[in-house]
Amino acid sequence: MKKWTALLLALTVLLGAAASAQAELELTYEGTVVAAKSVPLTATFGGRVSGLRLRKGDLVTEGDVIAELTTTKVFAPQEGTVTGVYATAGDFAEAVAERYGAIVYIEPVNRYAIAANSEKAFNASENRYIHLGETVYLSCTTDGTHQGTGIVSALTEDGYSIEVTGGDFSMKEKVGIFRDPAYKKESRIGTGTVDRVKPIAVKGTGSILKMPVKQGDFVERGEILFETVDGTLDGYYAPDSRIICPVTGIVAAVDAAEGASVNKGDSLIHIYPSDAVQVEFQIPEADLFSVAEGQRVEIELYWDNGEAKPYEGTIASVSHMSEETTGENAKKMYKVYVNFEPDARIRLGMTVMIRQAEPVSEAAEAPATEETEAEKDAEL
């Protein structure tokens, strides 16, 4: 009887020791939800930032327009027909203008110009004084069948220039110039020769982002001809001026202010993707060999609103370098990172509890080896 009592007592002690050892293995740590990576959004070309209203911590969704890079818009200086388009989207404006003299040429509606002087003007002092912008009346000197109107557009050393605003004339035709619409000789202020108006050369700087006009288009004064951006584009690729968010996540940092000038490749914002989060916690040196990569753990939110919904996680990495704490109880700590599947409740910076009850055993870590035939025979 005494023998059985001793055996039961010994068994009780062993079971208690095993339970105590298991309790010691159930280690619990406090950790924080952190981002596993950061995605930068950069300027696709140089320009001025507009529409950037985000702040650190804001939620963004894939496909959102984050900002827009304003461009330099070049407008038609005069109405007329586009007679030359020498660039396409992606071209460097200065290089095109150096080769062709302009990006775009416009042939004005008023196709004729007259180089005039005071020859054969009626002998009156007021006829020698020409006013810029004044309206004049034109009549061919041959038979007067070709008539029209014009305005004085410039004063030159040899006389003045007239832009023909109405009527039809022949090239190199001689015309008389009058101030009176009735062509009275007393109002004659000179003569001139009809010539064509040179096409207007329109230039630009930087790289061409958009070229909405084409050869033969009629444009009004002030109508957009093309848009340029600072710097060069990638080859002949002209990207959208809008900056589109590539992932869903949290704004980690805003690197460019509204209205700031940026160059191609400059960072606008950084984003922490919502599907790339981890739990970070620290373990003391004494617990270093109780965890290992690939080990499963259980994660609970520190404040879970009573739901007590745990998350399953897997240890992704254990730091190979310690970080020593300060104070009287200073000790060496090692960082551990855990992968898990987040849901809508998870936010960066949350406090969580990590529990692991699977001890790391040498037997579990040792690779399995096949038993040899000799060993099998020896066992038999």
- pLDDT-derived band at 379 (thresholds 50, 70, 90) equals low
**Tell me, what CATH number does 209's domain have?**
2.40.50.100
Residue 106 pLDDT greater than 60, yes or no:
yes
Q: Are residues 292 and 243 in the same domain?
A: no
Residue in this structure with the two tokens 């008023």, named with its chain if needed: 110
The CA distances from residue 363 to 145, 221, 360, in Å, are 114, 85, 9
- pLDDT greater at residue 12 or residue 35: 35
Residues 101 and 213 in one domain: yes
Q: What local confidence, expressed as pLDDT, does residue 13 receive? A: 45
Band of the pLDDT at 103, cuts 50, 70, 90?
very high
Verify that 209 and 101 share a domain, yes or no. yes
Give per-residue burial for 196-208: e unless 16+ CB within 10 Å, then b. Answer: ebebbebebebbb
Contacts of 74 (CB under 8 A, 6+ apart): 103, 202, 204, 224, 225, 226, 227, 228
Co-location of 282 and 323 in the same domain: yes
Do 209 and 255 reside in the same domain of the chain? no
**CA 177 from centre of chain:** 58
HEC profile of the chain: CHHHHHHHHHHHHHHHHHHHHHHHHCEEEEEEEEECCCEEEECCCEEEEECCCCCCCCEECCCCEEEEEECEEEECCCCEEEEEECCCCCCEHHHHHHHHCCCEEEEECCCEEEEEECCCCCCCHHHHCCCCCCEEEEEECCCCCCEEEEEEEEECCCCEEEEEEEECCCCCCEEEEECCCCCCHHHEEEEEEEEECCCEEECCCCEEEECCCCCCCEECCCCEEEEEEECCCCCCCCCCCEEECCCCEEEEEECCCCCCEECCCCEEEEEEECCCEEEEEEEEHHHHHHCCCCCEEEEEECCCCCCCCCEEEEEEEECCCCEECCCCCCCEEEEEEEEECCCCCCCCCCEEEEEECCCCCHHHHCCCCCCCHHHHHHHC
Residue where the block lists tokens 């952190």:
34
Confidence of residue 7 (pLDDT cuts 50, 70, 90): very low
- Say what the pLDDT of residue 125 is: 87
Per-residue pLDDT band for 367 (boundaries 50, 70, 90) equals: very low
Q: How confident is the model at residue 57 (pLDDT cuts 50, 70, 90)?
A: very high
pLDDT at 138 (0 to 100): 97
Whether 86 and 50 share a structural domain: no
> What local confidence, expressed as pLDDT, does residue 195 receive?
93
Query: What tokens were used for 354?
Result: 């990590």
**C-alpha–C-alpha distance, residues 361 and 63, integer Å:** 48
CATH number of the domain enclosing 181: 2.40.30.10
Report yes or no on 373 lying in a domain.
no
Instruction: Give the mean pLDDT of 251-259.
Output: 92
- pLDDT given at position 18: 44
Residue 80 and residue 210 share a domain: yes
* pLDDT band of 25, cuts 50, 70, 90: very low
**What pLDDT, in 10s, does the model give residues 123-149?**
988 888 999 999 999 999 998 899 999
- The whole-number pLDDT of residue 371 equals 54
In this prediction, what percent of the chain has a pLDDT beyond 70?
83
**Which has the closest alpha carbon to 149: 141, 140, 139, 138?**
138
Residues 95 and 208 in one domain: yes
Q: Assess whether 157 and 129 both reside in one domain.
A: yes
Q: Domain ends where: 217, 249, 273? A: 273
Q: Rounded mean pLDDT of 329-335? A: 86
More confident: 5 or 294: 294
pLDDT at 22: 44
Mean pLDDT of the chain: 85
The verdict on 101 and 207 lying in the same domain is: yes
Number of domains in the chain: 4
Comparison of pLDDT for 351 and 328, the residue scoring more: 351
Lowest-confidence region among 267-281, 305-319, 322-336, 364-378: 364-378
2 assigned to some structural domain = no
Q: For 258-296, how does the pLDDT look when each residue is reduced to its tens digit (9 = 90+)? A: 888 888 889 999 999 998 999 999 999 989 888 899 999
Residue 91 belongs to some domain of the structure: yes
Task: Provide the residue range defining the domain that includes 153.
Answer: 111-196
Return the sign of the alpha-carbon dihedral for residues 346, 351, 357, 359. positive
* Distances 185 to 130, 149, 366 between C-alpha atoms, Å: 16, 16, 117
Percent of the chain surpassing pLDDT 90: 58
Local confidence band at 364 (pLDDT 50, 70, 90 cut-offs): very low
Question: Looking at the domain assignment, is residue 20 inside a domain?
Answer: no
Q: Which of 26-30, 171-175, 365-369 has the highest mean pLDDT?
A: 171-175
